[in-house]
Each structure stands twice: as structure tokens, then as C-alpha cells.
């Protein structure tokens, strides 16, 4: 298991940027997959971006070209750089780690984008 704590959310105007951080309680170098999910009010939680062991990444279509996920194993950190934010990006963002025997979630951080 791994404990995850997200920070970096907040209120930003449309077109602005935020960087979310996810601090892990242990080394994340060997974790198969780490990702960011989001859940807007009244909607299901959706995968935003994923970083897979070996370096491959994937993004939901709505954020491609605007968001960048990165993993810093030396610091046990996962990041999500969010640029050109839109009101539709407003949601609670969750960090997730998946490995062979567990799936761990953080408590979430609120991102609000005003028009």
C-alpha cells in the first residue's frame, strides 16, 4: 500500500495554470501505474492522465495538449501541470496509484476555474 496526499488545488481564472502535486508515503519507482482522476459535481470520476511504469503516458482527450503528468521517483512525487484551464476542468482531483496488489487514493484537492 501507499498513502497519497494531494496539494496545489485552488481557484484560478480561465486560461490560467495550476500544478497539482501528490506526495507518496514510499518509493514510487516500481509502482505500475500512477494517475490523476477528477470528479465534478453530479458526474462520475474520470481518468485525466496516467503515467505507466516504463514512461508511457496517456490523457483524456479533453486535456491533451494542456495537461502534463510527470513522476519524480527520487522525491516520491507525482505532478499534474495544468495549463489553459477551462471552467469545464472544475472538479475535485484525485491522485491514484495502482500496482499488483493494491489501488490507493488520495483525499482529493479542489480545482475551480472561473470564467
Residue 54 is predicted with a pLDDT of 86
How far is 15 from 45, CA to CA, in rounded Å? 23
What is the b/e burial string over 18-34, where b = at least 16 CB atoms within 10 angstroms of the residue's CB? bebbbbbeeebeebeeb
pLDDT tens sequence across 14-43: 999 999 999 999 999 999 999 999 999 999
How far is 67 from 16, CA to CA, in rounded Å? 12
Residue 68 is predicted with a pLDDT of 98
Say if residues 114 and 13 touch (Cβ distance below 8 Å). Answer: yes
Give percent above pLDDT 70 in the chain.
100
Say if residues 10 and 65 touch (Cβ distance below 8 Å). Answer: no
| Ranges of residues in the chain whose predicted pLDDT is under 50 | none
Amino acid at each position: 500500500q501507499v498513502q497519497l496526499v494531494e496539494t496545489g488545488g485552488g481557484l484560478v481564472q480561465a486560461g490560467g495554470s495550476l500544478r497539482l502535486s501528490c506526495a507518496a508515503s514510499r518509493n514510487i519507482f516500481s509502482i505500475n501505474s500512477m494517475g490523476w482522476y477528477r470528479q465534478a459535481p453530479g458526474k462520475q470520476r474520470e481518468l485525466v492522465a496516467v503515467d505507466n511504469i516504463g514512461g508511457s503516458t496517456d490523457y483524456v482527450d479533453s486535456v491533451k495538449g494542456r495537461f502534463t503528468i510527470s513522476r519524480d521517483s527520487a522525491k516520491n512525487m507525482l505532478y499534474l501541470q495544468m495549463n489553459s484551464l477551462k471552467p469545464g476542468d472544475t472538479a475535485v482531483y484525485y491522485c491514484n496509484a495502482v500496482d499488483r496488489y493494491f489501488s490507493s487514493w488520495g483525499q482529493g484537492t479542489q480545482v475551480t476555474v472561473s470564467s
